[in-house]
């Protein structure tokens, strides 16, 4: 596999560009197109408007407030930043590429196949999945391995409630996730930046942890395509790349799954990838982070601040070896 130099993690903290600069650049390019009489669509077909009235939109579900204290009270990242400064390599490797290009992703109809070590495998439509699973709203920190972070209000389904519907067998030790593979809709897949489709994985106890959700929305609306519509994982104590977007397959299995970034650069991106300020990335420190939309830098917390809830999952494990 060709591993290009320009890949995840090439922009450590000092190179983080403020999202408003990206937005201005995009608007500038759009205005240029308008001035030149070209038909340029982003201004009238913003991806986040797509599907706003579809199943799972804020009008059709009644989210329950999470009673579990998992929600952070920190200031939320503005929606404009969270939906314009993204990593979604299927739509390009610059932070503004996904917002620019993800309009080509068709998110309805959508179905997910649940495979492997389950008593009831099969393919289920997104509507059917939503109909039978409780919906929660949670405000989580998201900490990218590139040392920036956001605070995002998600709407989603606890993964454990989703998996329970398919009855995992006793041999289900891990869960493997796969993103859609379709270079026609995902132009970034025409280049071998990663070994497509994007794949991620969790140990079964991580997947069953109540913090782990499959998000369908954010900021009270359906997910914008660039944020992983119509269904993406959110595992808030792990680096952002574990939170795989636009999922089409969930496979329960006995063996630890191959994951895309670990496969591309195993010394840089571990299978676990729990947020850990004491284990630096080989090319930069993980001690601090920059909150997007804010100029202040803050200390990165072990497990991204969720140690109380998840540290016991790793008791007895060497977190330097299992980074
Ligand atoms: N399929 C897919 N999922 C992905 C990525 C990607 O490139 N492709 N990028 C990951 C990374 S590196 C991060 S930080 C988060 C970003 O999520 P956000 O854009 O919603 O903030 O998505 C993750 N999920
Ligand atoms: Mo990331």
Domain extents in the chain: 13-314
Question: How many Å lie between the centroid of ligand 2 and the Cα of residue 131?
Answer: 31
Instruction: List, edge to edge, every strand of the sheet that includes 111-116.
Output: 122-125, 111-116, 247-253, 174-179, 199-203
283-313 as b/e, with b when 16 or more CB fall inside 10 Å? ebebeebbbbbbeeeeebbbbbbbeebbeeb
Strand 247-253 to 288-291 pairing: unpaired
Residue whose entry in the numeric block shows the structure tokens 């660039």: 226
For residues 273 and 282, give the distance between their C-alpha atoms in angstroms, rounded to a whole number.
Answer: 13
pLDDT at 299 > cutoff 80: yes
pLDDT at 67 > cutoff 80: no
Question: How many Å lie between the centroid of ligand 2 and the Cα of residue 241?
Answer: 5
Residue 79, both tokens: 């929606």
Question: How many Å lie between the centroid of ligand 2 and the Cα of residue 98?
Answer: 13
pLDDT recorded at residue 53: 32
Supply the residue whose CA is at minimum distance from atom 24 of ligand 1: 244
For residues 32 and 96, give the distance between their C-alpha atoms in angstroms, rounded to a whole number.
Answer: 17
- Choice from 228, 229, 230, 242 to test ligand 1 binding pocket (greatest atom count within 8 A of CB): 228
Supply the residue whose CA is at minimum distance from atom 7 of ligand 1: 88
Residue 300, both tokens: 């990165």
Q: Which residues contact 236 (CB under 8 A, 6 or more apart)?
A: 140, 141, 142, 211, 304, 306
Interval 250-262 mean pLDDT: 98
Lowest pLDDT segment from 38-47, 73-82, 133-142:
38-47
Q: Is the CB of 290 under 6 A from ligand 1?
A: no
The DSSP bridge partners found for residue 153 are: 139
Q: Is the CB of 227 under 6 A from ligand 1?
A: yes
Model confidence band, residue 294 (pLDDT cutoffs 50, 70, 90)? confident
Q: What number of CA atoms fall less than 13 Å from residue 93's CA on the CB side?
A: 14
Taking the CA of residue 144 as reference, the ligand 1 atom at the shortest distance is 14
Q: Which residues contact 256 (CB under 8 A, 6 or more apart)?
A: 173, 174, 201, 203, 271
Q: Which CATH class name applies to 13-314?
A: alpha beta
Question: How many Å lie between the centroid of ligand 2 and the Cα of residue 259?
Answer: 14
Q: Is the CB of 88 under 6 A from ligand 1?
A: yes
Question: How many Å lie between the centroid of ligand 1 and the Cα of residue 156?
Answer: 16
Supply the residue whose CA is at minimum distance from atom 14 of ligand 1: 240
Interval 98-116 mean pLDDT: 98
Which ligand has the minimum distance to the alpha carbon of residue 147? 2
Q: Is the CB of 194 under 6 A from ligand 1?
A: no
For residues 315 and 87, give the distance between their C-alpha atoms in angstroms, rounded to a whole number.
Answer: 31
Model confidence band, residue 45 (pLDDT cutoffs 50, 70, 90)? very low
pLDDT recorded at residue 13: 44
Q: pTM to 2 decimals? A: 0.85
pLDDT at 120 > cutoff 50: yes
The answer to whether the Cα torsion of 20, 24, 29, 34 is positive or negative is positive
pLDDT recorded at residue 322: 97
Q: How far is CA 316 from CA 167, 208, 272, 313, in A?
A: 29, 20, 14, 9
Phi/psi of residue 139, nearest 5 degrees: -100, 115
For 20-29, what is each residue's pLDDT tens digit? 655 555 555 5
Closest CA to 249 of 257, 240, 261: 257
pLDDT at 263 > cutoff 80: yes
Phi/psi of residue 203, nearest 5 degrees: -70, 155
Question: How many Å lie between the centroid of ligand 1 and the Cα of residue 228?
Answer: 8
Question: How many Å lie between the centroid of ligand 1 and the Cα of residue 37?
Answer: 34
CA angle (75 as vertex; 241, 289 as ends), nearest 5: 45
Residue 53 CA from chain centroid, whole number: 22
């Amino acid at each position: 596999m060709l591993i290009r130099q320009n890949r995840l993690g090439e922009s450590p903290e000092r190179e983080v560009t403020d999202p408003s600069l990206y937005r201005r650049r995009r608007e500038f390019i759009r205005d240029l197109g308008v001035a030149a009489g070209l038909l340029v669509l982003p201004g009238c077909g913003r991806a986040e408007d797509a599907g706003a009235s579809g199943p799972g939109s804020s009008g059709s579900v009644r989210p329950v407030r999470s009673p579990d204290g998992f929600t952070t009270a920190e200031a939320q990242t503005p929606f404009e930043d969270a939906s314009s400064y993204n990593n979604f390599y299927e739509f390009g490797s610059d932070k503004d590429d996904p917002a620019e290009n993800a309009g080509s992703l068709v998110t309805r109809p959508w179905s997910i196949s649940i495979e492997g070590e389950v008593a009831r495998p099969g393919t289920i439509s997104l509507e059917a999945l939503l109909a039978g699973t409780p919906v929660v709203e949670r405000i989580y920190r998201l900490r990218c391995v590139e040392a920036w972070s956001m605070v995002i209000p998600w709407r989603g389904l606890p993964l454990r409630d989703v998996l329970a519907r398919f009855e995992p067998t006793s041999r289900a030790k891990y869960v493997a996730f796969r993103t859609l593979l379709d270079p026609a809709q995902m132009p970034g897949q025409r280049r071998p930046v990663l070994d497509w489709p994007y794949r991620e994985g969790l140990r079964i106890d991580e997947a069953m942890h109540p913090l782990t959700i499959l998000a369908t929305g954010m900021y009270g609306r359906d997910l914008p395509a660039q944020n992983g519509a119509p269904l993406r994982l959110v595992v808030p104590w792990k680096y952002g790349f574990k939170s795989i977007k636009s999922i089409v397959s969930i496979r329960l299995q006995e063996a630890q799954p191959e994951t895309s970034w670990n496969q591309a650069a195993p010394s840089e991106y571990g299978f676990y990838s729990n947020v850990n300020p004491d284990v630096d990335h080989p090319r930069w420190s993980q001690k601090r982070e920059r909150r997007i939309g804010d100029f202040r830098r803050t200390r990165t917390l072990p497990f991204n601040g969720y140690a109380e809830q998840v540290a016991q999952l790793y008791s007895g494990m060497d977190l330097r070896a299992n980074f």
